[in-house]
């Protein structure tokens, strides 16, 4: 019972510090949002369209752009507004169709359609996606103009005839066959990759920086006062261990629930996901206890904790996906598996991308459990030495 009280104090200290509210809860969600928006596969490029005329040809261009895969059209009614939207990044590019587009084309006038974008590679790539819509209509109009010049039919009749010819001509058939395995990243949700990688990164990082609380407890005499009461060293250690674990589980649970509710992230088999979170949090708590009992300075523990938290996270695939690492550097991929992050990521990828169950991630859970057992035992032993020698 006393151990639970000590653990509750650890969680209470976490929640009372307003800076922790930001770094522990808000920052991970913000990073997941940014990663999903910037790199998520569910992202549609936003293209602003200003069609000053209401003719059929201008509407055809708008509809053709809207029909493109991965493109979302936002229509504007003012030139200054759409240009400002491009400048502020509200839309990635803009297509401006001038007034009188249909009527000017009908009399054979050359009409320019403007493409407005910021000077970057993504804007150029987006242009190559949109341009075929304009080119296709241009070919149709040239055929109609030829018919008008040769036969003297009206412009509208010539366009209708050209459309009929295009519709009747034999299309080129393309057969697509997929060889090998489809990359799971082709089907991953917009925020899923960032969700599970940042979950592991921040749970471990928070545990590392939280090791300073153990040093502070010794420094101000909290541990000594607890031992002066009818409380055994075993109870104090159990309470501190449960406190570290509770903090990690609270943060991890918040990220999992928050991403599921806000971003629609699917974590796969709930029992398997809970097992990965628990064992990973147990290992992170053990490392935090070990650091907090070996070092005697809060500043040292804070620095070491940040370096370990970020360094092991980067090495373990929380920043560069393991699949990418395996392709670019097989040796580094093998080294990454000395970290619990790599095994946690592999487990989540099996659950989320592979649709696996708890039974499918037994090897990963076994490694995480072994790691947690070793570091937790070392952390508990070293913490006992630290608090009993006061």
- Looking at the fold, whether 236 and 281 belong to one and the same domain comes out as yes
Show the tokens assigned to 172: 């080129």
- Looking at the fold, whether 225 and 338 belong to one and the same domain comes out as yes
How far is it, in rounded angstroms, from Cα 104 to Cα 30?
Answer: 49
Nearest Cα to 376, choosing from 335, 337, 340?
A: 340
- Looking at the fold, whether 347 and 215 belong to one and the same domain comes out as yes
- Is there a domain that residue 182 lies in? no
- Is there a domain that residue 181 lies in? no
- Is there a domain that residue 164 lies in? no
Task: Identify the domain containing residue 101 by its residue range.
Answer: 45-159
- Is there a domain that residue 175 lies in? no
SS3 72: strand
How far is it, in rounded angstroms, from Cα 173 to Cα 290?
Answer: 65
- Is there a domain that residue 180 lies in? no
CATH number at residue 65: 3.40.1710.10
Domain count along the chain = 2
- Looking at the fold, whether 255 and 327 belong to one and the same domain comes out as yes
Nearest Cα to 248, choosing from 275, 212, 208?
A: 208
| pTM for this predicted structure | 0.68
| pLDDT tens sequence for the chain (390 residues) | 678 887 887 778 767 777 778 888 888 988 888 877 666 544 567 899 998 877 888 888 899 999 888 788 999 989 999 999 998 888 889 999 988 888 887 777 888 899 999 887 777 888 888 999 888 888 777 777 767 777 767 766 667 666 666 566 555 555 666 565 555 555 566 677 789 999 999 999 999 988 888 888 888 887 778 877 888 888 888 888 898 899 999 999 999 999 999 888 889 999 999 999 999 999 999 999 999 889 888 888 888 888 999 999 999 998 888 888 888 888 999 999 999 999 999 999 999 888 899 999 999 999 999 999 999 899 989 988 888 875
- Looking at the fold, whether 82 and 35 belong to one and the same domain comes out as no
Contact 263, 190 (CB under 8 A): yes
Contact 325, 336 (CB under 8 A): yes
């Amino acid at each position: 019972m006393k151990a639970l009280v000590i653990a509750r104090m650890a969680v209470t200290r976490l929640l009372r510090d307003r800076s922790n509210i930001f770094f522990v809860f808000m920052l991970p969600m913000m990073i997941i949002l940014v990663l999903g928006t910037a790199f998520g596969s569910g992202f549609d490029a936003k293209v602003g369209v200003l069609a000053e005329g209401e003719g059929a040809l201008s509407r055809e261009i708008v509809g053709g752009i809207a029909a493109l895969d991965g493109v979302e059209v936002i229509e504007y009614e003012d030139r200054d507004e759409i240009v400002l939207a491009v400048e502020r990044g509200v839309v990635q590019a803009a297509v401006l169709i001038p007034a009188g587009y249909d009527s000017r084309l009908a009399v054979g006038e050359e009409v320019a359609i403007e493409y407005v974008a910021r000077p970057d590679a993504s804007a150029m790539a987006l242009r190559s996606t949109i341009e075929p819509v304009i080119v296709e209509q241009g070919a149709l109009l040239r055929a109609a103009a030829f018919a008008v010049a040769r036969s003297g039919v009206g412009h509208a009749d010539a366009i209708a005839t050209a459309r009929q010819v295009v519709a009747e001509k034999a299309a080129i058939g393309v057969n697509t066959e997929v060889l090998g395995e489809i990359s799971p990243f082709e089907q991953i949700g917009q925020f899923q990759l960032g969700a599970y990688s940042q979950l592991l990164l921040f749970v471990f990082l928070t545990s590392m920086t939280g090791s300073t609380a153990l040093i502070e407890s010794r420094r101000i005499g909290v541990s000594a006062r607890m031992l002066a009461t009818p409380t055994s060293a075993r109870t104090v250690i159990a309470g501190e261990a449960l406190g570290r674990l509770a903090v990690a589980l609270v943060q991890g649970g918040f990220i999992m629930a928050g991403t599921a509710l806000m971003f629609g992230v699917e974590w796969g088999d709930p029992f398997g996901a809970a097992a990965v979170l628990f064992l990973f949090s147990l290992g992170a708590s053990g490392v935090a206890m070990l650091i907090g009992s070996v070092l005697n300075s809060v500043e040292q523990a804070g620095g070491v904790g940040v370096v370990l938290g970020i360094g092991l996270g980067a090495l373990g695939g929380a920043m560069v996906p393991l699949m990418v690492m395996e392709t670019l550097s097989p040796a580094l991929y093998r080294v990454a598996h000395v970290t619990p992050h790599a095994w946690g990521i592999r487990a989540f990828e099996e659950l989320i991308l592979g649709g696996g169950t708890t039974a499918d991630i037994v090897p990963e859970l076994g490694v995480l459990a072994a790691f947690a057992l070793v570091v937790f035992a070392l952390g508990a032993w070293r913490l006992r030495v630290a608090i009993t020698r006061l």
